[in-house]
Amino acid sequence: MKMKLRFAAVLLAAVMLILAVPAFASDFSDVKDSRWSAADIAYAVEKGYMNGTGGDKFSPTDSMTRAMVVTVLWRRENSPKVKYSPEFTDVPEKSYYTSAVIWAKNSGIVNGTSKTTFSPSASVTREQLAAMLMRYTDFLHYSTRERANLDAFTDSGKISSYAKDAISWAVKTGLVTGTTDTTLSPGSKASREQFAAILRRYDGVKFEHINRKANFNLLYPGDGEEISVLNPLQSTFVRRFYMGDFDDPEDPESVYRWIADYETDVFQSGVHNPTYPAMINFRWTCDDPVRIQKVEISEKADFSTKADVTIGNVFSLTEGVYSCNATNFHVGTTYYWRVRTDFRSVSGVQSFTTAHDRYRPIYLEGGTNIRDLGGWVNADGKQIRQGAIFRGAEPECYDFDDPNQFLTDEGRRQMAQDLGIKTRLDLQVESLEGLHMQGEWYGIEYFVRPGKQWEETLSGEGAEWLKETMEVALDTSKYPLYFHCYAGADRTGTIAGYLEILLGMDMKDVMFDYDVTTLSVVYKRSWYNDRDGVRTVFLEQLAQMYPDLATPQEQIEEYLVSIGIAREKIEAFRDYMILD
Same domain flag for 90 and 154: yes
Q: Is residue 404 part of a domain?
A: yes
> Is the pLDDT higher at 293 or at 11?
293
Q: What is the DSSP code (8-state) at residue 277? A: P
The model's pLDDT over 169-202, given as tens digits with 9 standing for 90+, comes to: 999 999 888 889 899 999 999 999 999 999 999 9
Beta strands in 215-330 (DSSP E): 216-220, 225-227, 280-286, 293-298, 310-311, 315-318, 321-327
* Domain-terminating residue out of 289, 323, 354: 354
Q: What phi, psi does 181 have (nearest 5°)? A: -65, -20
d(CA 538, CA 515): 17
d(CA 530, CA 541): 18
Same domain flag for 404 and 317: no
d(CA 323, CA 330): 21
* Domain-terminating residue out of 301, 332, 354: 354
CA 123 to chain centre: 37
Structural element, H or E, at residue 41: helix 38-46
d(CA 75, CA 24): 17
Q: Mean pLDDT of all residues in the chain?
A: 85
Q: Is residue 258 part of a domain?
A: no
1 contacts 34 by C-beta, under 8 angstroms: no
> Is the pLDDT higher at 234 or at 14?
234
**Which residues 6+ apart lie within 8 Å of 256 measured at CB?**
518, 523, 524
- Burial state string for 75-89 with b = 16 or more CB within 10 A and e = fewer than 16: ebbeebebeeeeebe
Same domain flag for 178 and 318: no
Residue 1 has pLDDT above 50, yes or no: no
Instruction: Please tell me the predicted confidence (pLDDT) of residue 16.
Output: 35
Number of Cβ within a 10 Å radius of residue 240: 14
**Which residues 6+ apart lie within 8 Å of 60 measured at CB?**
30, 31, 35, 37, 41, 191, 192, 193, 196
Same domain flag for 527 and 379: yes
Mean pLDDT, residues 461-468 taken together: 93
Alpha helices in 267-385 (DSSP H): none
d(CA 520, CA 139): 45
Q: Is residue 312 part of a domain?
A: yes
Same domain flag for 480 and 390: yes
The model's pLDDT over 23-76, given as tens digits with 9 standing for 90+, comes to: 444 589 999 999 999 999 999 999 999 999 988 899 999 999 999 999 999 999
β-sheet bridge partners, residue 296: 338
Same domain flag for 302 and 377: no
Q: Is residue 239 part of a domain?
A: no
Q: What are the Cα distances from residue 81, in Å, to 99, 285, 292, 415?
A: 7, 19, 12, 21
Radius of gyration (C-alpha) of the chain in whole angstroms: 30
Secondary structure class of 378 (helix, strand, coil): coil
Q: How many domains does the chain have?
A: 3
Same domain flag for 158 and 284: no
For the chain, percent of residues with pLDDT exceeding 70? 84
Number of Cβ within a 10 Å radius of residue 507: 17
Strands 280-286 and 216-220: antiparallel
Same domain flag for 187 and 313: no
Q: Is residue 183 part of a domain?
A: yes
- Burial state string for 163-176 with b = 16 or more CB within 10 A and e = fewer than 16: bbbbbbbbbbbebb
Q: Is residue 228 part of a domain?
A: no
Q: Find the domain containing 195 and state its range.
A: 25-204
Same domain flag for 293 and 306: yes
Q: What are the Cα distances from residue 306, in Å, to 56, 362, 388, 496?
A: 46, 18, 16, 28
Residue 2 has pLDDT above 80, yes or no: no
Q: What are the Cα distances from residue 422, in Å, to 99, 124, 309, 482, 507?
A: 35, 51, 16, 8, 29
Q: Which of 112-121, 250-259, 288-297 has the lowest mean pLDDT?
A: 250-259
Q: How confident is the model at residue 8 (pLDDT cuts 50, 70, 90)?
A: very low
Same domain flag for 318 and 332: yes
d(CA 16, CA 8): 12
Same domain flag for 381 and 320: no
d(CA 254, CA 515): 15
* Domain-terminating residue out of 312, 338, 354: 354
Q: What is the DSSP string of 501-561?
A: HHTT--HHHHHHHHHGGGGSTT----TTTGGGGHHHHHHHHHHHH-TT--SHHHHHHHHHH
Instruction: Please tell me the predicted confidence (pLDDT) of residue 13.
Output: 38
Same domain flag for 519 and 384: yes
- CATH code, 341: 2.60.40
